[in-house]
Amino acid sequence: MKIKNISIDVKQSKKKSHSFWKFFWLTFLAVSLWYAWYSFYAPSNDITWIDNMEYAQKLANNSDKNIMVFFTAEWCSPCRIMKREVFADQEVKNAMDAKVVSIEINIDDPNAEALVKQYNIGATPTTIFIDTEGNVINYAVGKVGKAKFLEMLLNI
């Protein structure tokens, strides 16, 4: 009799263990999918992005502003996080509108090759503040949070 009870307990134990692992892997899959979506989600924002340096320099000269160049790429997850957490913020948008002409440059675009070489861009995101002559005032390589970005923006 005892042999039957032991084998029944082992089978019940395996069923309990199997249920745990099934729940674990389903939860892991759901969290992983959510994180992948979250990493690449970037909401639209009201910032007027320009993709042409000559036009941006003309606008900056006419408005007495400096230029902010944001080097990004489609595949860049930290860039999207920055777009979501920094550029979608209304306070940041207002400060940018008041202080800079904003350029967004996709480093994978063949037309951007000269700018990428000129500013020696090796990583994304890279944020560079320049004057109308193209001289670097300040820059940051990597993802920058809202507070740090506003500090950089207000100090140019």
Domain residue ranges of the chain, discontinuous segments joined by + = 1-39, 53-154
Task: Tell me the catalytic residues.
Answer: 76, 79
Is the pLDDT at 6 greater than 60? The verdict is no
What does the block give as tokens for 83? 């777009």
What are 49-94's pLDDT values in tens digits?
A: 888 899 999 999 999 999 999 999 999 989 988 988 999 999 999 9
Q: Say which residue, 42 or 56, is predicted with more confidence.
A: 56
Q: Say which residue, 46 or 83, is predicted with more confidence.
A: 83
In 3D space, the residue among 125, 138, 143 whose CA is nearest the CA of residue 67 turns out to be 138
Q: What is the CA radius of gyration of the chain?
A: 25
At 135 the three-state DSSP class reads coil
What does the block give as tokens for 28? 């892991």
53-154 classified as CATH 3.40.30.10: yes
CA distance 147 to 4: 67
* pTM flag (> 0.75): no
CA distance 33 to 69: 32
